Amino acid sequence: MRERARGAVNAARDPQAGERSFIDLHCHTRASFDSLSSPSAVARAAATRGLTHLAITDHDRIEGALEAREAAPPGLTIIVGEEIRTADGDLIAVFLERPIPPGMSATETIEAAREQGALVGLPHPFDRFRGSLGRVRELEELARLVDWVEAHNARIVGAGGNERAAELARAVGLPGVAVSDAHSVVEVGVAYTALVGDPSSPAGLLAALESVEVVPGRASYLVRAVTPFAKGINRLRGNRRVRPASVVPPSAPAARPRP
């Protein structure tokens, strides 16, 4: 699957194309247990702020992304994604057709995403206060299995987290992207990535990531203080974190095929 996606990149790359795209690859809606943002409001905010592409990556769900895709205004492409809680830490998958269940090892989760033709990103790897993969001993080996690293996450907690993520991206030869990780409408697009090309398909995004330009930004601590409130409201509504059916012990990552 990885080889097929990489092989399609050449077809997606147009040497004459100069089209610029502006994408946020990590954003949440009320489908997540820790957000109250309606999918339609998120889509409108993204379009208003000049984004051309937005990946909705709710925690272990894709319903919000599907709803946002239906509500997207002209000029905005919604990419169906998911932030998946693996047994090792969080992963981002985009271009999904069905949700990937939480609880598998990181490598098995990546394999499940590849089976759908999806691309995979490494979110906030060095955030000490979230489910990050930075604790995994074989982090660099695992990073070689994905397609990008979040070199700038607008919600990172702790000094040096983004800098270490950017260093990891350079060390393994992966694009480092900027994301909002928005959990509220006001945060959508506060950080994003500028690209040359059309990232509307897996092959198109892979091709465009070769021209990545990070546009950083920060979510204010006041805005982030809404997240605990959102968790409480969602708990009352019965929208809790998806429980894994079973937790699979972590397995050693295999080498990622290179193009």
pLDDT of residue 247 exceeding 60, the answer is no
CATH of the domain at 172: 3.20.20.140
H or E stretch covering 63: helix 63-71
For 69, other C-beta atoms within 10 Å of its C-beta total 18
Q: Is 250 contained in some domain?
A: no
pLDDT tens-digit map of 149-172: 999 999 997 779 999 999 999 999
List the one residue out of 76, 2, 9 whose CA is nearest residue 211: 9
Residue environment code for 101-119, b if the CB has 16+ CB neighbours within 10 A, otherwise e: bbbbbbbbbbbbbbeebbb
Q: Is 259 contained in some domain?
A: no
- Whole-number Å distance between alpha carbons of 38 and 92: 20
- Whole-number Å distance between alpha carbons of 151 and 84: 19
Neighbour-count burial of 160, counting CB atoms closer than 10 A to its CB (0-12 exposed, 13-18 middle, 19+ buried): exposed
**Paired strand residues for 148:** 121
Side-chain half-sphere CA neighbours of 65 within 13 A: 28
Work out the pLDDT band at 12, boundaries 50, 70, 90.
Answer: very low
**pTM recorded for the entire structure:** 0.86
C-alpha distances out from residue 115 to 123, 201, 231, Å: 20, 15, 32
Q: Is 169 contained in some domain?
A: yes
Dihedral pair phi/psi, residue 90, rounded to 5°: -80, 150
- Whole-number Å distance between alpha carbons of 247 and 87: 6
Q: Is 197 contained in some domain?
A: yes
Mean pLDDT computed over every residue of the chain: 88
pLDDT tens-digit map of 201-236: 999 999 999 999 999 999 887 777 788 888 888 888
* Number of structural domains found in the chain: 1
pLDDT tens-digit map of 127-146: 887 778 877 788 999 999 99
Q: Is 247 contained in some domain?
A: no
Provide the domain limits for residue 56.
2-12+19-237
Residues written for the chain: 259
**Paired strand residues for 79:** 55
Q: Is 173 contained in some domain?
A: yes
pLDDT tens-digit map of 183-202: 999 999 999 999 999 999 99
For residue 229, the model assigns a pLDDT of 80
- Whole-number Å distance between alpha carbons of 86 and 115: 17
Work out the pLDDT band at 259, boundaries 50, 70, 90.
Answer: very low
Q: Is 188 contained in some domain?
A: yes
- Whole-number Å distance between alpha carbons of 226 and 150: 23
pLDDT tens-digit map of 75-132: 999 999 999 999 999 999 999 999 999 999 999 999 999 999 999 999 999 988 777 8
**Token digits for 135?**
């604790």
- Whole-number Å distance between alpha carbons of 227 and 223: 8
